[in-house]
Structure 1
Amino acid sequence: MAETIKGRGSRQWLPGRFETTTHEAVDDGWAGPEADTESGPDPARPRTRVEEETARSIVTRNDSPDVGFSQSVNPYRGCEHGCSYCFARPSHAYLNLSPGLDFETRIFAKTNAPELLRREFARRGYRPEPIALGINTDAYQPAERRLGLTRRLIEVMLECRHPFSLITKNALVERDIDLLQPLAAQNLVQVHFSVTTLDPHLSARLEPRAAAPHARLRAMARLHAAGIPVGVMFAPAIPMVNDSELEAVLEAAREAGARSAGYVLLRLPHEVAPLFRDWLQAHLPERAAHVMSLVRQMRGGRDYQAQFGQRMRGQGQHADLLTQRFRLAWRRLGYAGLRPAPLDTSLFRPPRPDSPQGELF
């Protein structure tokens, strides 16, 4: 069985569901311990590769009744945070890459994203609706520190007074307080933090390259102090792994200034199911069978249900109990009276079209 890899949520290059051939490494005994990486990367220490990508479009639209937005923007494909449970992992299969280790080591940066967003806003007939930034993969993952794509996207939002929300597991969002503060003053932004656990040891195994829980709460408090509306998402709720922390996470976030709260049940679409089962065997083998048994009880006897209305919450007694616990804590901690106002779309102003004569006035 493969060994765990420090700093990685997966420990295998699981083939994607569209692959017609698979490759398996075999040690024939000819390579000594001093063998380097001339024939390929060291599987025990996979390095992160960030590749530039020229995107054709940047705004993704949906009509799902399960999410509170119709437009989203993702400047990166793949995510170095390496969350073992990430529902976006199967998207790497479309690139003929593994939803396992490739997803967290092969990152694609849409370097023309800010220009595409500006062009979209300038399009004749564009009607502003709040944009969700970094929904599929975290817009503040480690590559953002060097590339700054998310910051440039926010600059476009500020220029055009376009409303947006974002969700992150990274304290790097503090870097952009200078942009988020004037947006918040016009009711144009809300920032949500995904907090899965308050236990740094569990967090280091579940989401190895995300910010530690205390760092996320500290960032939340700093944004709140700057007048930026912040919220918390307890996501995902995993039975017998972190579900017992639901109330504690909501309380810690409330103390840090969170004005809204939500939760999402563990989702295991496509390749995520075998990858998460493997994670359980590696880190919680004594609980693995029980965890998956409870997951199936909340998913109609399967690993996952993709139907609208069930995929975020599940069904059955355990799912209902989780919902009741959340609602009780939500009311007790005062979230019920702190619902943020809808973001303002009336202030939007399209960017001025580029002119070969430049700006004269």
Structure 2
Amino acid sequence: MKRSSAPSSLYARPLLLLGVLLIAANLRAPITGVAPLLDMIRDGLSLSAAEAGGLTALPLLAFAVASPFCVLLAREYGLERCLFAALLLIAGGVGLRAAGSTPALFGGSLAIGLGIAVANVLLPSLLKRDCPDRIAGLTSAYALTAGAAAALASAFAVPIATLPGSSWNWALLAFLPVTLTALAVWAPQLRASTPPTADVPTPPHGDSVWRAPLAWQVTAFFGLNSLVYYVVVAWLPAILAEAGYSAAAAGSLHGVSQLATAVPGLFLGLLVARMKDQRLIAALTPLATVAAMLGLIVAPGLAVVWAALFGFGTGATFILALAFVSLRASSAGQAAALSGMAQSVGYVVASVAPSLVGVLHETTGGWRLPLLLCAAVGLLMAGFGFRAGRAVQIG
């Protein structure tokens, strides 16, 4: 049935709020929890470095291709049903990925990426519809939930895989109860079928944002941050293992980086809202990522510092990039077009990087050059951030 009017607040319906947070818990962890197990998976399935990087690339390609079109499904079937379908895709992908074969591994990763793409696009629309006056607080809450779930998935992956009688398959499958719980809690929402808000990204149709230099600056800021983030998400445990850390310690530090990505969400949105322009902060936040990459080269013994700094820097840059989508647009329709442009181009750029970095590591025999290149990308990102942070809008 159709919901006749939007509720005044998510807080008035605790089950719906819990469902939102449980969906958020599925937005990163199924992807980031793979990295600590990557060596085990490569050994078990005889994967090359490029194929291993492809485990991260596939979900990103799904983000890039599916994100602009999710709204079309939501307009036809409703937000609630599409979010339920997203959870079904994630659950099916988690189960398939653990089947133990290479096709199942990649097929499951693709399904997970499609499910996360749908939820990423539609969940903000649900928040805007149901609680428009508390979007900042709720966005921070689900960002923190996503980061905490990703951190736990990374930290516990290796301990689960090394239990007696266990393997990497079981470690990948261990996240399934979280997704099934989300499905169960969200199921009552299927009684409603409401369309997304008008500002959800739709496929571009030659919109002027594609010809605007400012739009490309925002897109580059978003895309370069995604590139570095997913390279490090894919390879940080391997980088740390080469520096002498155990697999369990590397997984825990990977978890630290994921938890740190959520920290800027607690305050950065409110800070940005008080700024006349954001040039300084947009140029400085990528430098945290640069420092983390250089730190891993020169002082790997302080990896806990560099992991936390990396997570904080990329998390802050991500929030700024999303804010620029709204701040630099002159209308809701233009913001939707810019969001679709930034996500499509950004995730395509990011999707090829993990595999290429894996090949570069195999070619050079170490992580020094890949980390230096990531640092260089961070400097480039700072330049685009300074331009995107100007208090101007797309004409």
Structure with the higher fraction of residues in helix conformation: 2
TM-score over 0.5 for the pair: no
Structure with the higher fraction of residues in strand conformation: 1
Higher relative contact order (CA closer than 8 Å, sequence separation 6+): 2
